[in-house]
Amino acid sequence: MAESHTFDALDLQLLQALQLDGRASYSRIGAVLGVSDQTVARRLRHLGSALDLRVVGVRDGEPLGRDSWTLRLRIKPDAADAVARALARRPDTSWIGLASGGTEIICSTAFSRAGDHEELILGKLPRTPSITDIRAHQILHRFFGGPTGWFAAADALTPEQAAALTPRTPAGRDGARTAPGPADEALLRVLERDGRAPVAELAKASGLSESAARRRLDQLLRSGSLYIDVEYSTAALGYTTRALLWVTAEPRALDAVGRALAARPEAAAVFATSGQSNVMAVLVCRDVGEVYRFLTGVVGGLDGVRHVEVSPVLRNVKQLTYDDAGQRRGRPRTGRAGERG
């Protein structure tokens, strides 16, 4: 569990600034916020320690039409931890949490090719004796999450400051579907360890000139196949409770319900999915009471909602990150409430 820290207005502004543009220079951030770049550097070092904050590059398959699924696995309580950790070792799982009193594993997966999910969903999981039920939800549409970090929608910055720190061409908005190729692997491995790595370091790792490395990075970011994310402990900010909502909306209301949930500050990610429930929302809240108020005051007031199920997340088993050798691994994130989508 993260230690208790006190964060002032500038700390929160810096966190929102990084969510808007994780590669913004200290001088640019300082100019917008009216402080020196030395102050920005000092405060970000403090946040790095207090929030376990890291800026990382993340590959995003959605702009390229790649499959993403969320799996809900009913599990025998005495086997939940072992199964969750076995799933965490797989390279195609990105987030794994224990929910429902330890009898449910929720697992986010991303597959590089259509059909790759069959090996896991139709092969390995059904043959695992301790798994009593499998529900597979394919992600059909992302309303919020992924490149749009939870704190990016905060109000720590004024609208003018937020606009000044937002890239002119947001990720995935230039229409080019640029998939990372084999030549990009070295550059991506550096960014997956440090999303703020200097262009000179990217050029050295990839064997490109600095101008070519900068152009390739810009192409990948603009296409949306790569985005810069900020990992941090929301528990240290006082948001200690996370829950997943499985909402069943009437087809005519599906889009409106998804958009309404995505507009709420409690929502860290909202997706339209296949399955009995057709909207999945990840909530980051201060306490259980805030989850209750969200259910009764927000979801309960939406037209077209037929049914809602709540899965309280007890513990994170895996959050996608990379170690110093560039190897994909699942780092235990006990008490963390951040969600990337």
Question: What does the pLDDT read at residue 59?
Answer: 79
Tokens of 218: 């810009």
Question: What does the pLDDT read at residue 341?
Answer: 35
The span from the CA of 78 to the CA of 74, in Å, is: 12
Question: What does the pLDDT read at residue 327?
Answer: 34
Question: What does the pLDDT read at residue 62?
Answer: 66
Question: What does the pLDDT read at residue 65?
Answer: 58
The pTM assigned to this predicted structure is: 0.78
Question: What does the pLDDT read at residue 152?
Answer: 61
- 113: which DSSP letter? S
The span from the CA of 129 to the CA of 111, in Å, is: 24
Question: What does the pLDDT read at residue 320?
Answer: 53
The span from the CA of 222 to the CA of 177, in Å, is: 9
Taking the CA atoms of 245, 321, 214 and 14 in sequence, report the sign of the dihedral they define.
positive
Span 189-234, pLDDT tens digits: 899 899 999 999 999 999 999 999 999 999 999 888 888 988 888 8
- Ranges of the chain with pLDDT below 50: 1-2, 321-341
Kindly list the distances between the CA atom of residue 263 and the CA atoms of 18, 154, 270, in Å, as whole numbers in the listed order. Answer: 20, 11, 10
Question: What does the pLDDT read at residue 330?
Answer: 37
**What is the enclosing helix (H) or strand (E) of 28?**
helix 26-33
CA dihedral 188, 193, 197, 202 (to 10 degrees): -30
Contact of 114 with 126, CB cutoff 8 Å: no
Question: What does the pLDDT read at residue 39?
Answer: 97
User: What structural domains and CATH numbers belong to the chain?
Assistant: 9-61+149-231 (1.10.10)
The span from the CA of 144 to the CA of 306, in Å, is: 22
Question: What does the pLDDT read at residue 147?
Answer: 67
The span from the CA of 59 to the CA of 181, in Å, is: 12
Question: What does the pLDDT read at residue 115?
Answer: 62
SS3 239: coil
For 15-40, b where at least 16 C-beta lie within 10 A, e where not — what string?
bbbbbbbbbbebebbbebbebeeebb
